[in-house]
Amino acid sequence: MATKKHDDIELLFRLVENATNNVAPPPDLKLSDWADLYRRLSSESSSEPGQWRTDRAPYQREIMNAISDPEISTVVVMSSAQIGKTEFLLNVIGYHIDYDPAPILLIQPTDKMAEAFSKDRLAPMIRDTPVLRSKVANAKSRDSGNTLLHKKFTGGHITLVGANAPTGLASRPIRIVLADEVDRYPASAGTEGDPLTLAKKRANTFWNRKFVYVSTPGIKGVSRIEAEYENSTMEEWHVPCPSCGHYQPFKWGQVVFESASMACKHCGVIHSEFEWKLGTGKWVARKPGAKSRGFHINELASPWKRWAEIIEDFKAAKKEAKKGNIELLKSWVNTSLGETWEEEGEGVELDGLLKRRERYNCEVPDDVLVLTAAVDVQDNRLEYEIVGWGLEYESWGIQYGVIMGDPGQDYVWDMLDGVLDKKYARNDGQKLQIMTTCVDSGGHHTKKVYEYCKKHELKRVWAIKGESGSGTPFIKRPKKRNDAGVWLFGIGVDVGKDTITSRLKLFEEGPGYCHFPIEQDRGYDQAYFEGLTSEHRVVRYTRGQAKVGWEKRTSGARNEPFDLRNYATAALEILNPPMELLKKRLGKTEAQPAVSEAKAAKKRAGLVNKGVVI
């Protein structure tokens, strides 16, 4: 009996122990620990599929652990591309599905990007990570609670929205707010206001709410991520010098191009990329007392991008900048250095442009390969400019003119035909025709513009409509005709004005340089240059949000010359001619008379047989 009683007591203890284990809290896992234990990288979204290893990019460990730290409510990551930020955002989602269930909101710049993220990144992670696969219902099952933009799991859900969709930002209470690429967000979600402010309000009811802001930065003074970072601990990733051991961040100014290496700022010794990356790095805060954690890291720290590649990317961007096209360099600063772009100057001054005028002594200089035209429609006139283009965006102003009259009347457009159909002679005797023309349709005579462009479509005369905003691409090619039967091109006027201003600042002839004639009958007088320099770049704040745009320096100033140069530049981009091939053809044409004469002489001598010159 004693033995049986002892066995019963032992069985009871085992039952109690098992029951206690079943209700005990899970082990205390940091986010990086969870990822190292459970996360699987998918083959379609990773070059290194399989088990996640935080040590592959060790700078990610502290970022992820800060996100899972209950004492921290806000984490900011201002970074370059190629540092794995999308993957650690996925880790945050996985962690809160499996280990710490909560309602999650992931914000992408647009609803289409949110859909793409769900299909291309989130769904494969859930499929390939076993602990998640069993917790998120199959999307194909009926009433699964798993849709493209909303997925339920025990204890929570994840909703994916675009920052441009106010409805998605204003429903459901949320504990975890993940904001990806915040510098690409619109200033307002519809008419509802700042998307980040709307998202923050949804987390007000949670004491343990979490905000994670991640982005490559944009323009200095306007960048959302820069503003958040400057209110944080402002931490940078430091590594030790292999020679002297002093910790320092990866700095572009210390990089040696020839050997793709970096010099120590303390001892000056140069070490290779791999020697620098062998050291154990650490995060160093510039403002350690701040409430939110902020991290900044650039592409030099990435294990997925070699320094030699980054150097080549920079050289290519710098080459384009010398032509006056600064967009590639802007992008490189943002996405490789993870830094904001600071605009140089607000505009171009009048005096310098007036002094650079030159005498052509011909209708079109010989270096001009293509002519484009632009037309601006006003209530009582048409204004136009014809621009000549050479290699690498070097340009020549050919003619600026005004056709007075009501654009609602046919005779005004008939006069424009005379301008656009004319042949313009080069000094070498060759004549060029205007290859393409952009006509602004945004005024009071839109119907008349459409009629003219449709009639002259075979001459590549295109209707355009300007769109402001730094995020608008320079050229939006139409996919179909509009209701009037016209191909209507969208023009990102702010992007174009940025490019033109950069080119006007060049003072050495060559790529991107802008030539202007001094001959009085061409229209490039002081009034023209006053219009060309009539606008400047400014930063305005609306509801606390900064917005960069172009505005007139003084009210009432004429800005048609600036607009027309923009449209003529757009015409070249739409045409996209093979400039090197044109240069060769024009060169051959110039020499052709002598070749023809030689051929004729041989023919007379009986040296041509069956069309083959011997």
Q: Are both 213 and 100 inside the same structural domain?
A: yes
438, 570 Cβ separation under 8 angstroms: yes
- Across all residues in the chain, what is the average pLDDT? 86
**Is 132 part of a structural domain of the chain?**
yes
Q: Are both 299 and 355 inside the same structural domain?
A: no
Q: Calculate ∠ Cα 82-87-89, nearest 5°.
A: 115
Amino acid 473: pLDDT: 86
Domain that holds residue 479: 350-577
| Residue closest to 213 by CA, chosen among 227, 202, 201, 203 | 227
pLDDT tens per residue across span 101-122: 999 999 999 889 999 999 999 9
pLDDT tier at 281 (50, 70, 90 boundaries)? very high
> CA-to-CA distance for 264 and 375, rounded, in angstroms?
56
> CA-to-CA distance for 123 and 355, rounded, in angstroms?
61
Q: Are both 101 and 39 inside the same structural domain?
A: yes
**Is 487 part of a structural domain of the chain?**
yes
3-state secondary structure of 403: strand
Looking at this protein, which amino acid is placed at residue 391? L
pLDDT tier at 535 (50, 70, 90 boundaries)? confident
pLDDT tier at 591 (50, 70, 90 boundaries)? very low
Classify residue 146 by its DSSP letter.
Answer: B
**Regarding beta strands 461-467 and 431-440, do their DSSP bridges make them parallel or antiparallel, or are they unpaired?**
parallel
CATH of the domain at 400: 3.30.420
196: part of which helix (H) or strand (E)?
helix 195-201
Give me the helices (H) in 24-139, please. 31-38, 59-67, 85-98, 111-117, 123-128, 130-133
| The two structure tokens encoding residue 571 | 């015409």
Amino acid 508: pLDDT: 85
Residue of 144 and 361 predicted with greater confidence? 361
| Residue closest to 67 by CA, chosen among 30, 36, 104, 103 | 30
Q: What total of structural domains would you count in the chain?
A: 2
C-alpha to C-alpha distances, 594 to 37, 229, 590, 601, nearest whole angstrom: 78, 68, 9, 11
| The two structure tokens encoding residue 169 | 């930002």
Q: Are both 299 and 356 inside the same structural domain?
A: no
CATH of the domain at 64: 3.40.50.300
> CA-to-CA distance for 3 and 24, rounded, in angstroms?
31
pLDDT tens per residue across span 406-433: 999 999 999 999 999 999 999 888 899 9
**Is 11 part of a structural domain of the chain?**
no
Q: Are both 449 and 510 inside the same structural domain?
A: yes
Side-chain half-sphere exposure of 569, counting CA atoms within 13 A: 29
Residue of 293 and 510 predicted with greater confidence? 293
| Mean pLDDT value of segment 287-311 | 95
Last residue of a domain, one of 278, 304, 330: 304
Length of the chain: 614
| The two structure tokens encoding residue 236 | 């940078």
Q: Are both 142 and 57 inside the same structural domain?
A: yes
